[in-house]
């Protein structure tokens, strides 16, 4: 059960990184 929590945290970190990357790519063309 406790390890499931860790898996969930890792999964959350992974998807957070994906979202940050996609947002970064979305604003990238407007960077100076």
Describe the chain by its helix, strand, coil percentages, rounded to 5. 90, 0, 10
Indicate which single residue of 23, 26, 28, 30 sits in contact with another protein (rule: CB under 8 A).
28
Q: Does 24 bind another protein (CB under 8 A)?
A: yes
d(CA 18, CA 4): 21
Q: How far is the CB of 25 from another protein (least distance, A)?
A: 8
Q: Does 30 bind another protein (CB under 8 A)?
A: no
CA 30 to chain centre: 21
Per the document, the length of the chain is 32
Residues within the interface to another protein (CB under 8 A): 2-3, 5-7, 9-10, 13-14, 17-18, 21, 24, 28, 31
């Amino acid at each position: 059960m406790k390890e499931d929590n860790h898996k969930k945290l890792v999964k959350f970190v992974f998807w957070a990184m994906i979202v940050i990357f996609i947002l970064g790519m979305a604003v990238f063309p407007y960077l100076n």
